[in-house]
Structure 1
Amino acid sequence: MKYLKLIILSIIGACGTMRSQTSEPISDKGLQFSIRAGLDKPLFNNNVPYVDYKIGLNLGVSLDYYWKWFGVGFDFDYLNNGAKNSYPLTNLFNSSGTQLTSFAVQENKITRMFYGFGPDFRYVSNSKKFQTELNTRIGFSSIKGGEVEVVETTTGSDQLLNYHAGYDLSSSLSAKAQLRFTYFFNNFGVHLGVYYLKHFDGTELYNATKGFSTGFAPFTTNQDGGIVADETFAFRKEPCDCDLASMGVFAGITFKFPKKVKEEKVCAQCVECTVCGKTHALPMCACQVCGCKLSITAKDKFTHEILPDTDVVLVNSSAQTINSGKTNGFGVVVFDNVKPDNYTIKGLLNTVSLEDGSIAKSEFASCQANNGVIAKEIIYSDRNFIIKGRAFECNSTIPIAGINVTLENKELAIKKSTMTDAQGNFLLQLPETGVFELYGRKESYFSQIERVTASNYNRDKNLFVQLEMCAEKVDCGKGLGLKNILFDLDKYVIKESAKPELNRLVRFMLDNPTVKVEVGSHTDCRSSHAYNKKLSQNRANASVDYVVSQGIERSRITGKGYGETVLLNECADGVKCLESQHDINRRTEMKVICPE
């Protein structure tokens, strides 16, 4: 209800603002934009008896274009609903008669995002102040979250009582029907509405670790009224593609974009064209560009893709550059007011030349008479792929400008580098065959190493390979986790699976030759303090020895075993935790040693 109160107060405030504005005519046909907020009630028929889904928040925007009673529109909706365990936990006993009083309960919310497009139908009153709409949409939804897990922690057996794996759908086909009632003060209005949203793909997650999607411990009621949980666990192994839907109410604000009045250009006097020497009739007089336009399109030979950001140069018969430019987002560059001559068209994309095009002088005659356009194409015929990438700081959307991005294959002796622009974008040529490493180099950044296999792509179908890479910002004294540095039980031998991550550390130290690094090894709280301290020191030493074996001076790297002294959660001695919680504490980190 708190959401509904906020929505109502916002609408009342907006109404006051609209009434105070100067009256202006309400637009009839045209574009309108709406924002809304409301409450969403889930209607999930997913055969999960002991999980309830709660009413939650709905935020949305709409963009609609109407002619008269008919229009088309686009909707985006964000919906957030709570998932609540309903398995009985009060007066609960296990099969041995022990009352269960403490539980580990995990309840993750479900987040849905819907994108849809479709037709609109409306009725508008004679005053144009009241509008009733039926909006229909077809599109896709992402459905994430909803995992619910209940484990009893009273006896130490960690018996699983209730579980549902939730959802992780990226593009579930969905449909939405919506009624919206709007009152307009001018081109601003307020609206109320209801909707129904249906998801046609409601497939649950499958938990590979547990071996099922959902389940619960059956229970009975004893003669004293207590609830007795069975030792067995009833589960459904196969994920259910069940019905998922929701309905809700909302309120919001609508704005109609006013029509623009076109200002006609008036040609005061027609004069002789400086290009062709003729005086043209309207509209080809002095107020417009007279002469020939050249429209040049850059395309790929094999995929026929248009090529934005291609450098194009127009060279005349005297080998002089007459015009130059860069193709737009449609792969086209236009040169105005070009005099008749024989021309060569040259193109360059990411340091690779395109096949030359040509224009004959004779092609200009008909163009001048009709103010037409000479259209030409230049062709990119190189068999290499082009990596169109972007570099970010890890776990963020912050682009990294000025990082040196390298593509390398040591076996083929291929190494190519480029720098990112201010938005973190970069382009690199990728040979048609081979397996390559992609990484970045910049002071105070610890780059991920991406593996790129050219054979995964087909040059006859794709020219551009879209990739993202990330690098972590390194601050001295701040630990960064090294992934996949795993050891066998009670062992400290470096496994093959750990070497790629340690090689990433080697690469960082080679790129930053003055930096000194500490490798820290951490254990969980199980076993004695002394044993954990010794084991973690041996593991840290093993990591250091491997890095030194790859050419790093031993004076630049040290290893330290922290044992269980730096835990990342509450799982200390005497605290009962799940295995997944202990996993968080078992880790290897690196940190740059701050200079003294």
Structure 2
Amino acid sequence: MKRLILMVMAVLFSSLTWAQSPTKRASGENGGSIKRGERGTHMKSRDNAEPGRLQLSAFGGLSMPMGRYKNEIGRAKNGYFGGLAVDQYFRGNKWGIGLDARFLNHDMRKFDSVFFDNGHIGTTYFNHPSFQHIALSVGPTYRASFGKVDLEAFLRGGVLFEGFPQYAQSIYVNAAAGPPAKLFDTYYTSNSKEKTKSWMGLGGIRISYALNNNWGLFAQADYLRAFGKSFGKDSSEFYVTRYNEKKTLGAKDVLNVKDGQITNILDFYEEQPITQKTFVQAINVGLGIKYTFGSKRKPAPAPVTKTVAPPAPAAPKDILVVVKDKQTGFALSGVKVKVSRNGADNTSISNADGQAERIKAAEKGAYLVTAVKNGIAAEPVNIAEEDFNKAGNVIYKEIFHDDPRFTLIGETVRANDNSKLPGIGTVLTNTGNSRNMTQISDAEAKFVYQLEQASDYHIVASQAGKFSQTESVTTKGLDRSKTLYVTLKLGVSNLDAGAVFVLKNIHYDFDKWNIRPDAGRILDNLVNVMAQNPGLRIELSSHTDSRGKDAYNLRLSQQRAESAVNYLVSKGVARDRMVAKGYGETRLLNRCANGVDCSEDEHQANRRTEIKVLKY
């Protein structure tokens, strides 16, 4: 079988080489002469050979052991294999060099237990009862292309990292009391090491079908075997030692034991053991997927026997690339766009209309367009030579970026007049997992964050001498196929002595003054403000509406103010930097005094928590 496979591979290599050499066959058929016009044509064909492409392949499937490795010595069963291959083809994409890395697993056929009159024969497995190998190899690859079908043949050499099972088949004789005693090993592994190495060879055929310019599916068959008896100082083969049977132990046979020895063992087994060995070999059949970098150039036309004037070069054209959000179709700004050809890149950032920098008077050829934003790459777009033959002076291409997240576009502004305030640090917190992200607003006072779907966030300014409210942002209820952007203006104020700020979203349960978790997150912002401004001293006050008795409201508001101060103290803020003050209903912000009929919203305006800057 091994010789047959090697012969088939040799024939395939020869056939492929002959099939891919039309120039040589043509010259031979014409008596070995080339006309002057033909010579120029052939030279041009070689100059226009397709640049070599890099190919990555992943594969896996059935691995079938062979020979003594499968049969009486190795006892290896059909298993599985999987791996990766990298092939770098040379110019023309016929010959290349490849690297193959794979894992093979062959479970072994276990031994059956044998029972006789006063005992049994059993097998102990000291590790996994399987052969597990890692193969690393490198060597030449040859490819023949037939439209969308590629036929590749490869030959590799390298190192096989071998993992052998360890076991012993033993005779156990029943004892008068206690468990059976192990008295004799009839069959056991005798490897110098459980894990060792060997030289290896690998050869095979791969037939692939191109799904598009880069992706393809393939079927693969190859033969792998180990070579040599040793690798360095270590043995490379699998060893077993056994005693040949003279007579098979049957159910009625009795083994006689005296002083821990079996006296009639030679009735059943030869006196001297024999040691056998085998190397690893297997045929592997599987399926895989491959990705080929770059673009595939169409084959040059067959050479002609008469001189033809070269066609006029196509006029240069501008290339315009527009980036769009795949889910909404909106133009996408801030995307890094790269237009590449023959190793040269033109890189730019898309503008507010999604347009990358226009490439003017681009030469005719094949181009690859890629785009990346927020670490996510868009599906590449190809510009073919045929695009230069179409009408018009501009080649227009759209590339679609697919990021499932929403985009928060924020702006830091002065709280008193909404004018832009650049260079302000911001902190965005995901309330679901408490993860924080930070960013400083740019020269246009803008900041941008990516928001996960169906999530709640808090955002605040974080900068010495500044204060902002804790603003809430949510993507819950938003449809990503219709919405891309979420906008926010973050008002920022100076921490001037005498300044008063209402802390938004500080809520207490009815008739309670303990700090709820949602209020705690708001107060955590105040903790950061106090930490960034060690010279800051504040009054933290609580206010109620006019409903209820005046004395009760005064007492409840004082308890709430003290709870807020105690929370800040628990977070490390010195108590002497804060004053807790409850004002009850003494500082109403509107007309809603005792006895005045007001709406719930008007009463809500009076229920608030404030901070006043006492010293900064």
With the length of structure 1 as denominator, give the TM-score of the two structures: 0.43
